[in-house]
Structure 1
Amino acid sequence: MQMFFSGQWQDKSDTIDVVNPFNGEVIDTVPRGTAADVDAALATLAEGARIMKKMSAWDRCQILRKAAAIMERREEELGRLISTEEGKILAEGNLEASRAREVIEVSAEEARRITGEMVPLDAAPGAAGKLGFTLRVPCGIVAAITPFNFPCNLVCHKIGPAIAGGNAVLIKPASDTPLSALKLTEIMLEAGLPPEAIACITGPGSELGQAICEDSRVRKISFTGSFPVGENICRMAGMKKVTMELGSNSPVIIMDDADIETAVKAITSNGYANAGQTCISAQRILTSSKIHGDFLDALQPSVEALSAGDQLQAGTNVGPLVREADAERVEKWIRQAVESGARLVTGGERNGSVCEPAILADVAPEMRISCEELFGPAVALTVFDDINEAISLANHTEFGLSAGIFTQDIDRAMRFAQEVDSGNLHINWGSQWRADLMPYGGLKHSGTGKEGPKYAIREMTEEKMVVMHLK
């Protein structure tokens, strides 16, 4: 596929292969963009930002509605493309395509709801006769830097609110999975978005990222990815507005009064969906010493029933990791944990980029598989004695994106909600659940700012205070 900037689709002599993670087959090529391409794109996007600023909320809404309708017609095509380039099973690819369409639909709705507020200035001393209100205005150019693991939905979580808020948008997709973002660009143009108002540049993040983040024409950066990269982007960004959706090693607490059947269902889903390559995957499973054995006995056959392999084949539950190097890393971390005293209950074998779903028990909090983000199909079980220890273990991390607890005790549930340091908290479900319209974001090293169209639009617009001095 070609990349799009300066109002046209463009090729380059230097290209990047896009491969199927399962078998390494090349499915397409994309241009290897450069810093010069970013500069040219931003020159056009500056004009696009002026066009978008003048566009009515109604017109922005209609563009997004039409885009959603096109996405609905092409949902099966998008789902298969997502699965082919990223490695998730077809059911998950189709679900992502459906969710992405919903994000664009909600963004269209929110485009019509951008409001300011009246400010009661005459409540201040000496302010009689003053009338105040706020206006929300577009940022200008929004840079959307997106990861490989949700190559369609997470792009929509950035471009939908950006367009709804009246901005131009520059997309920098992950080099492993750029095709979904390019298809979305094609769809937005077909829906009537001015060509000056969108660009999608493919290429290495090391070169393109710096060119994007340091350019003063970019006012807002929305990034999803790892903490080290996010921290570096913040350093380069300077005074720009930033939203950082970063990593996690999500804890799920299984109390002694948990519904074990429901907990097993959740962990089997949350720990291994998308081969564990989800920011809110259930990774640290904290189990009460009173029911640890029963929970593990129930979890093991549920996980062993998962079939790992070719993501495009019916019957596969867990596809490959996006790169074989990532599968090798997961295998290495599992081996290191076992060498440090953890017990491999099941799984852990690797065949190319495919890792068998694994369960590790007797995991100490300081082990790498517990204290860092695994991003692979394995869960790490650690035992606790009471709710105090469970909360302490849950907070024993630099991350804070999502957490879950299973309990029938309302007091325990509320202690969890109040005391666990996490941006998303789930009671009687695991850590991996998200409605695309809800505010979504992390604490600590898991990021700053919120996604979800309504909340992202706030991040992608700026507030002006107007004071009328009446006679």
Structure 2
Amino acid sequence: MLDKSYPYYLANRAVKSTRKLDVVDKYTGKVATRVALPDEGALDKAIAAAHAAAPAMKRFRPYERQAVLEHCVTRFTQRRDELAYALCVEAGKPINDAKGEVTRLVETFKIAAEESVRINGETINLELSQRSAGYHGYTRRVPLGPVGFITPFNFPLNLVAHKVAPAIAAGCPFVLKPSERTPLGALIIGDVLAETDLPRGAFSILPLDGKHADPLVTDPRLKLLSFTGGLVGWDLKARAGHKKVTLELGGNAACIVDADQGDRLNAVVDRLVFGAFYQSGQSCISVQRILVHDDVYDALRRKLVAKVKALKAGDPKKKSTFLGPMIDETAAERLEGWIREARKAGARVLCGGGRKGSMLEATLLENVPREAKLQRMEAFGPVAVLQRFMTFDEALAIANDSDFGLQAGVFTNDLGHAMRAWDELEQGGVIVNDVPSFRVDNMPYGGAKSSGIGLEGVRYAIEDMTELRLMVMREA
């Protein structure tokens, strides 16, 4: 179902190249297809084209932007199976999860189409005293200008969508560097965008490696850098000059299970398994730290271990597979080392821990020391740690004992506990009675502390890609 090769996109046009990048099937390890590598100087040409396209994109009317986004919704829906298969191959994502991500791709562009025609301003009353009598204030939002995007491997469709769709809605030309490990989804999106009437230069999609992408960070012609990835994002921000920067840099999400959950442990366990192990835990809001009240700890541990042991691992192209490979063997080896480190420090492995190539078993541990990497850092793989607590105050303190703060989950029937979690957890979002892995694509999504700055969620991303323009009018 994959083409033999894929072009890159420069100033809206497909470009072939004699230089090729192999795209590896993450399960078999074999080359599945190839994509064209951008020629020397392509990035500078892309930035120049985006800069030149900014006036035309600003004049591109909201209904015209909406038409482009609606075309994408239609075409992505028509190409749903192709997109899901490409995602399954290039990311090793189980086919059921891949289909779900295609659905989110479509939904994100649909939301952007709706938002594109309601980017509104307001009227401000300036007549606060005699000094300003007869003055009236008005605001509107205008496109920021050309913007640069860098996206990671784990959601090759949806994380691209959360940058590209708001940019089109806002009227910002863009240059995108998708992960060179998973470029296909972005390039198929480019193929669809090339069918539209976007002004020339409105988009470029270049599957560069990181060392050749530095102008996206440093070139002053780009007015915003939006980066999703690891903690290297803070270094990018430091080198970005005067441009606006938004960062989503991951987490090690905690999920609290309160004492009153004894009657619904089966449902809680089902959601914990999903949150910790779907797409092999390679999500920024994957459940990593499970904090369980002493009253229900033993029962939950027993049910959770049994459920995790029953997970089907293997070929992601099979519908029965829940757990596929990690993105590569190096990532699996890293996490295997973290498990080994925790065991040496006194942790107990409840299940899993084994590895074969890039396939790491779904793993649960308990008694993991506070200083261990599995507690302090982002695992980004199919591993979760259990820890018991005695009071809700203790659970909140443990959850906050992290450099990260993207999202947290709290299972509780106590409204007071839910409100306290919302008040006291140092997180971008608190999900009550579900796992932190829950996300709908119109909600604000972003982190506190080392997890980043700025927000995604289409309307919130549009705000970052536009600036407020004020007009004051004095009565004649």
Secondary structure of 1:248's partner? coil
Q: Is the 8 A contact 2:369 2:375 kept in 1?
A: yes
Q: Is the 8 A contact 1:136 1:464 kept in 2?
A: yes
Distance 2:353 2:197 in 1: 48
C-alpha spacing 1:124/1:37, structure 2 compared with 1 (3 Å): farther
Secondary structure of 2:349's partner? strand
Secondary structure of 2:260's partner? coil
* 1:33, distance to aligned residue in structure 2 (A): 3.3
The answer for the alignment partner of 2:159 in structure 1 is 154
The answer for the alignment partner of 2:223 in structure 1 is 219
* 1:124, distance to aligned residue in structure 2 (A): 4.9
Aligned counterpart in structure 1 of residue 238 of structure 2, from 235, 239, 258: 235
Distance 2:183 2:343 in 1: 36
Q: In the TM superposition, what are the counterparts of 1:212-291 in structure 2 within 5 Å?
A: 212-227=216-231, 229-258=232-261, 259-291=264-296
Aligned counterpart in structure 1 of residue 44 of structure 2, from 39, 42, 46: 39
Distance 2:465 2:83 in 1: 27
Q: Is the 8 A contact 1:321 1:376 kept in 2?
A: yes
Q: Which runs of 5+ in 1 are unaligned?
A: none
* 1:15, distance to aligned residue in structure 2 (A): 2.6
Q: Is the 8 A contact 2:96 2:319 kept in 1?
A: no
Distance 2:212 2:448 in 1: 29
The answer for the alignment partner of 1:312 in structure 2 is 317
* 1:176 equivalenced with 2:181 (yes/no): yes
* 1:48, distance to aligned residue in structure 2 (A): 1.9
Q: In the TM superposition, what are the counterparts of 1:302-341 in structure 2 within 5 Å?
A: 302-341=307-346
Q: In the TM superposition, what are the counterparts of 1:52-451 in structure 2 within 5 Å?
A: 52-124=57-129, 126-208=131-213, 210-227=214-231, 229-258=232-261, 259-451=264-456
Distance 1:194 1:93 in 2: 31
Secondary structure of 2:141's partner? strand
Q: Give CA-to-partner distance per residue, 1:249-276, whole Å, 9 cap, x none.
A: 0000111112312220111000001100
Q: Which moved more, 1:377-386 or 1:270-279?
A: 377-386
Q: Is the 8 A contact 1:344 1:361 kept in 2?
A: yes
**CA RMSD of superposed structures (Å):** 1.2
Q: Give CA-to-partner distance per residue, 1:178-217, whole Å, 9 cap, x none.
A: 0100000111121332342110011111221x11111111
Distance 2:347 2:199 in 1: 56
Distance 1:279 1:187 in 2: 28
* 1:13, distance to aligned residue in structure 2 (A): 3.4
Distance 2:325 2:197 in 1: 37
1:264 partner letter: V
Q: Is the 8 A contact 2:83 2:185 kept in 1?
A: yes
The answer for the alignment partner of 1:14 in structure 2 is 19
Distance 2:233 2:447 in 1: 13
Secondary structure of 2:72's partner? helix
Distance 2:77 2:20 in 1: 31
Q: Is the 8 A contact 1:35 1:211 kept in 2?
A: no
Q: Give CA-to-partner distance per residue, 1:106-134, whole Å, 9 cap, x none.
A: 10100000011111111256111111011
Taking only the aligned residue pairs, the percentage that are identical comes to 37
Q: Is the 8 A contact 2:149 2:216 kept in 1?
A: no
Distance 2:124 2:38 in 1: 47
Q: Is the 8 A contact 2:293 2:388 kept in 1?
A: yes
Secondary structure of 1:23's partner? coil
Q: Is the 8 A contact 1:225 1:245 kept in 2?
A: yes
Using structure 2 for the length normalisation, give the TM-score.
0.96
Q: Which runs of 5+ in 2 are unaligned?
A: 1-5
Distance 2:129 2:444 in 1: 33
Distance 1:423 1:247 in 2: 11
Distance 1:435 1:463 in 2: 27
Structure 1 consecutive aligned stretches of length 4 or more whose deviation exceeds 4 Å: none
Distance 2:200 2:127 in 1: 46
C-alpha spacing 1:197/1:385, structure 2 compared with 1 (3 Å): same
Distance 1:65 1:305 in 2: 42
Secondary structure of 1:53's partner? helix
Q: Which moved more, 1:8-17 or 1:414-423?
A: 8-17
Distance 1:248 1:125 in 2: 52
Q: Is the 8 A contact 1:48 1:198 kept in 2?
A: no
Q: Give CA-to-partner distance per residue, 1:1-31, whole Å, 9 cap, x none.
A: 1111134322333332110111111112223
Q: Is the 8 A contact 2:14 2:191 kept in 1?
A: no
Aligned counterpart in structure 1 of residue 32 of structure 2, from 27, 30, 33: 27
Q: Is the 8 A contact 1:157 1:453 kept in 2?
A: yes
C-alpha spacing 1:394/1:34, structure 2 compared with 1 (3 Å): farther
Using structure 1 for the length normalisation, give the TM-score.
0.97
C-alpha spacing 1:195/1:318, structure 2 compared with 1 (3 Å): farther
Distance 1:266 1:169 in 2: 37
Secondary structure of 2:222's partner? coil
- Number of residue pairs the alignment of both structures matches: 469
* 1:291, distance to aligned residue in structure 2 (A): 1.7
